[in-house]
Amino acid sequence: MIRTATPADVPAIHAMVRELAEYERALHEARATEEQLHEALFGERPAAFAHIAETDEGEVAGFALWFLNFSTWRGVHGIYLEDLYVRPERRGGGHGKALLTELARICVERGYERLEWSVLDWNTPSIDFYRSLGALPQDEWTVYRLTDEALTKLGS
């Protein structure tokens, strides 16, 4: 059901990134191309990793895209889950849990001490799902982001 993504999966991953962006009401912000995803996942210096959830028939049901982070407090790497997405018609079939289970297995196997991600505060179905797995919200932290003009202004 869960496997490491291959270059042939890039079109499906790209399509699901756009589906996720639409669900999150931010399709206009999803500018990544298939070529960019291919380079990030399979280029000379991969910066990200992906796993695919498949149905018994081999149909792509969802994906997880992640990268390594590092905790100065723990002194070890962790996994930051950038995207977890299961297509609506495949939800409830265990694909999301299987993807998270695989990432947790990788953490345990490699000695990583954190698996973390962000979720929109209005996404109650996902929040309820994550809590059912034992995940805890980090309510005391607020995410900040620099993009576009603000990033260019600060970096120039």
What string of pLDDT tens digits covers the 156 residues of the chain?
999 999 999 999 999 999 999 999 999 999 999 999 999 999 999 999 999 999 999 999 999 999 999 999 999 999 999 999 999 999 999 999 999 999 999 999 999 999 999 999 999 999 999 999 999 999 999 999 999 999 999 999
Return the pLDDT at 113.
Answer: 97
Q: Which of 23, 80, 130, 144 is catalytic?
A: 130
Return the pLDDT at 19.
Answer: 98
Question: Is 23 part of the annotated catalytic residue set?
Answer: no
- Report whether 5 contacts 52 (CB < 8 A): yes
Q: Enter the tokens of residue 105.
A: 């297995």
What is the C-alpha to C-alpha distance for residues 84 and 20, in angstroms, rounded to an integer?
9
DSSP state of 123: -
What is the C-alpha to C-alpha distance for residues 84 and 102, in angstroms, rounded to an integer?
12
Return the pLDDT at 39.
Answer: 98
Token pair 């210096």: residue = 45
Return the pLDDT at 65.
Answer: 98
Return the pLDDT at 55.
Answer: 96
The letter for the amino acid at 31 is: R
pTM of the model: 0.94
Return the pLDDT at 50.
Answer: 98
